[in-house]
Amino acid sequence: MEAIIHEHGLPEFQVSHAAECNTAGPDGRGVGGRSGFRHCLDSGIPLLKRFDDLRAFLLVSDNDKPTSFRQVQDELREAGHTPPSAPADIGIVFGKPTAILLLPTHENAISRSSVCLRFIESGPKQKRVSMRF
């Protein structure tokens, strides 16, 4: 994701892996993957430095099975949030617009860079967006 941001001259993003913002693993280390989203939402995201400055969330996940999008939706619901109803829609997490981007995209999906640009342009004009994958 950092390469996409740099390549397209996008504004500053806070990029981190799900495992970096939770301690849900049996050894106290973070849990990654799709279930890592829920653990971050349960414990870590509101504690991020300058959380109030965050404008939106873009959750990036593997598109490795037909149920990938639904699994991310389920993790968001389980954490008490409103997931996007479809890949091109916006949900709400902690009152902030939230999109899900599955990689790699399939032939009907729009490009990663255009998703990032559209997402940035659609929200309030704050300085930071958090991208989780």
pLDDT tens column, 51-83: 778 888 888 888 888 999 999 999 999 989 999
Does position 131 have pLDDT exceeding 60, yes or no? no
Q: Which residues contact 88 (CB under 8 A, 6 or more apart)?
A: 110
Q: Are 47 and 30 in contact (CB under 8 A)?
A: no
What is the average per-residue pLDDT within 104-131? Answer: 56
Residue 133 confidence (pLDDT): 45
What's the alpha-carbon Rg for the chain, to the nearest Å? Answer: 14
What pLDDT does 67 receive? 92
pTM (two decimals)? 0.68
Q: What is the mean pLDDT of the chain?
A: 76
For residue range 14-27, list pLDDT tens digits in order: 777 777 777 778 88
